[in-house]
Structure 1
Amino acid sequence: MKKIISFLVLLFSSFNLFAQEVAMADKMREDGKIWVVIGVITIVFVGIITYLVLLDRKISKIEKGR
């Protein structure tokens, strides 16, 4: 019961967050800097995915060796 109440409280408190305006994001969209942020985030995620794929290949190679 405690988990259900906690879930409902978090669910209803998150609705309030959607109603707020984010002035910083609006300003970045106006200046065109939002694309720089999106680019950096994309580069970071591509780097993480590449690292994980290479790591998986190395681990698979080590497992086959045994």
Structure 2
Amino acid sequence: MLINPSTFALAKSGMIFFLQKGPMVEMADQLRTNGKIYVVVVVLLIVLLGILAYLISLDRKISKLEQPNKS
């Protein structure tokens, strides 16, 4: 019985992801012990807040453009 190539590729990528899970946890543990995990969290929070602020300002600008002209 032959295996479909796409099924084989999917299974292979799943195995690679599973096998790489170990070092990722070690990296997170190292960041946590050094206290650098807080730096990562703060940077991610700043980026997400920046994106949120940009989306809010963009929404306000679009809302102003959608309002009919009163002249």
Fold conserved between structures, TM > 0.5:
yes
Moved more, 20-29 or 4-13: 20-29
CA-based RMSD of the aligned residues comes to: 2.4
Of the two, which has the highest radius of gyration?
2
Structure that is richer in helix per residue: 1
**SS of the residue 1:42 aligns to:** helix
After the TM superposition, which segments of 4 or more aligned residues of structure 1 sit over 6 Å from their partners? Answer: none
**Offset at 1:30?**
1.4
Identical amino acids, percent of aligned pairs: 39
Q: Gaps (5+ residues) in structure 2?
A: none
TM-score normalised per structure 1:
0.69
Higher relative contact order (CA 8 A, sep 6+): 1
Q: Look up the match of 1:10.
A: 13
